[in-house]
């Protein structure tokens, strides 16, 4: 099968990572980079001397099958829509768009033109997250009770979107994937210390069916970098620490013996017995999630294998974001 010709749109913060993976993918012909910032053209030429550089979306020509959009979130809709109008399959970095209506418009035109529209929920292609899902589904930690996800650091402070729209798409996509459904209730609170109306700290409470709860904490004002997901089951617990190079996932034989009650010495009070057993880190084959995500996009185009982060997944996560945003401003 011939290679898929892919154009990259945007070479700012995340673009170089995408470019590297596109360049290394044997199933991709990396056909060019669209970057309106002239100051970045010299860097592009240094990194990829033979790559074509485009200044305007109207000048990209017809020599592309697909495009990956890595631009500020507020531009995702307008750029994605124009690329779909041109007949290209499109992968848009998270979030798919910054409101539900725009997501639905993108989905509508992609379906009308029979084009693939995918969103970059990269953690859904992370080997550690996939392993945690396997452990949950196996019943090893019993019934799923709650999932806590935190994404904290001092910066990187954005001007176009708040901390939730910047970071929480990761958390919402991970939690929904692990829970096996999307939340039925969303509540959010936060503060806008740096810039009025632009929240830099948020706390979100998610409620799912089967009495599963989720908690998300995002902050640009935190002294330490933290990227953690904590899963609590009725018979065990899991911690995923994405800041660790090795042993990112640890399974703990911790919990509460729901049936056994320990009596106090006087016999008047009682308490549930705590289970504090062993722990271990499963062997997980390391691979770059971004590489897996791009290959999933290519496989969808070439073989019609729908990825987990299709446009409907992108829409559902934006629905959660918009409901949480209403809580922040409400």
Tokens representing 75 are: 């531009």
* DSSP-assigned letters across all residues of 225-268: EEEEEEEEESS-EEEEETT-SS--EEEEEEEEEEEEEEEPTTSS
Q: Is residue 258 part of a domain?
A: yes
- What does the pLDDT look like over 15-48, one tens digit per residue? 999 999 999 999 999 999 999 999 999 999 999 9
Does residue 152 share a domain with residue 114?
A: no
Give the range of the structural domain holding residue 8, as residue numbers without chain letter.
Answer: 4-121+290-307
* 169-224 residue pLDDT tens: 999 999 999 999 999 999 999 999 999 999 999 999 999 999 999 999 999 999 99
Residue 237: is its pLDDT beyond 90?
yes
| 176 lies in some domain | yes
Q: How many domains does the chain have?
A: 2
For residue 274, the model assigns a pLDDT of 86
CATH code of the domain containing 253: 3.30.360.10
Residue 252 sits in the same domain as residue 279: yes
Given a contact cutoff of 8 angstroms between Cβ atoms, the answer to whether 217 and 203 are in contact is: yes
Residues 285 and 195 in one domain: yes
The candidate with the shortest Cα–Cα distance to 115, out of 78, 75, 64, is: 64
Domain-located, residue 232: yes
- Do the domain assignments include residue 96? yes
Kindly state whether residues 58 and 139 are assigned to the same domain. no
DSSP codes of every residue in 147-193:
EEEEEEEE----SSS-HHHHHHHHHHHHHHHHHTS--SEEEEEEE-S
Residue 81 has pLDDT above 70, yes or no: yes
DSSP calls for 36-93: --GGGHHHHHHH-TT--EESSGGGS-S--SEEEE-S-GGGHHHHHHHHHHTT-EEEEE
Tell me whether residue 186 is in a domain.
yes
> Do residues 105 and 51 share a domain?
yes
3-state secondary structure of 308: coil
pLDDT of 265 higher than 60: no
Residue percentage of the chain with pLDDT more than 70: 97
Give the pLDDT of residue 50.
95
If asked whether residues 249 and 187 sit together in one domain, one would say yes
- Among 120-124, 159-163, 270-274, 283-287, the range with the most confident prediction by mean pLDDT is 120-124
Q: Do residue 134 and residue 238 come from a single domain?
A: yes
Chain-wide mean pLDDT for the chain? Answer: 95
Are residues 277 and 132 both part of a single domain? Answer: yes
175 domain residue, yes or no: yes
Instruction: Please tell me the distance from the alpha carbon of residue 298 to that of residue 5, in angstroms, as a whole number.
Output: 10
| Strand order across the 221-233 sheet | 185-191, 201-207, 213-219, 144-154, 221-233, 237-241, 249-263, 270-280
In a domain, 269, yes or no: yes
> Do 74 and 213 belong together in one domain?
no
Please indicate, yes or no, if residue 314 is contained in any of the structural domains: no
Q: What is the CATH number of the domain that holds 77?
A: 3.40.50.720
Closest to 68 measured CA to CA, from 48, 96, 90, 84: 90
Contact 34, 57 (CB under 8 A): yes
Q: Are residues 67 and 150 in the same domain?
A: no
How many angstroms separate the CA atoms of 130 and 123, rounded? 9
The predicted-structure confidence for 283-306, as pLDDT tens digits, reads as follows 999 899 999 999 999 999 999 999
pLDDT at 56 over 90: yes
Query: Based on the domain organization, do 181 and 113 belong to the same domain?
Result: no
Whether 142 and 260 share a structural domain: yes
In angstroms, the first-to-last Cα distance of the chain is: 52
């Amino acid at each position: 099968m011939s290679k898929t010709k892919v154009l990259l749109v945007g070479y700012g913060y995340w673009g170089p990572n995408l470019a590297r993976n596109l360049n290394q993918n044997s199933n991709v012909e990396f056909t060019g980079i669209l970057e309106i910032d002239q100051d970045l053209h010299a860097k592009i030429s240094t990194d990829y001397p033979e790559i074509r550089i485009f200044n305007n979306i109207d000048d990209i020509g017809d020599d592309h099958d697909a495009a990956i959009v890595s631009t500020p979130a507020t531009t995702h809709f307008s750029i994605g829509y124009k690329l779909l109008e041109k007949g290209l399959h499109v992968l848009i970095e998270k979030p798919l768009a910054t409101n539900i209506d725009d997501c639905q418009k993108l989905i509508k035109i992609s379906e009308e033109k029979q084009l693939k529209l995918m969103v970059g929920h990269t953690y859904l292609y992370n080997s550690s997250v996939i392993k945690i899902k396997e452990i949950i589904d196996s019943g090893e930690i019993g019934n799923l009770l709650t999932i806590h996800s935190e994404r904290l650091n001092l910066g990187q402070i954005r001007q176009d979107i708040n901390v939730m729209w910047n970071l929480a798409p990761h958390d919402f996509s991970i939690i929904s994937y692990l829970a096996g459904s999307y939340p039925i209730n969303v509540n959010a609170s936060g503060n806008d210390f740096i810039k009025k109306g632009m929240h830099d700290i948020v706390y979100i409470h998610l409620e799912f069916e089967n009495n599963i709860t989720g908690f998300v904490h995002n902050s640009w004002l935190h002294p330490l970098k933290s990227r953690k997901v904590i899963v609590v089951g009725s018979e065990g617990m899991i911690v995923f620490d994405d800041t660790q190079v090795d042993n990112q996932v640890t399974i703990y034989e911790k919990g509460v013996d729901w049936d056994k009650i320990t009596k106090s010495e006087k016999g008047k009070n009682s308490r549930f017995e705590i289970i504090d057993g062993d722990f271990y880190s499963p062997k997980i084959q390391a691979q770059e999630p971004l590489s897996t995500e791009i290959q999933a996009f290519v496989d969808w185009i070439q073989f019609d294998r729908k990825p987990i982060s299709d446009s409907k997944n992108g829409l559902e996560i934006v629905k959660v974001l918009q409901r949480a945003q209403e809580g922040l401003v409400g």
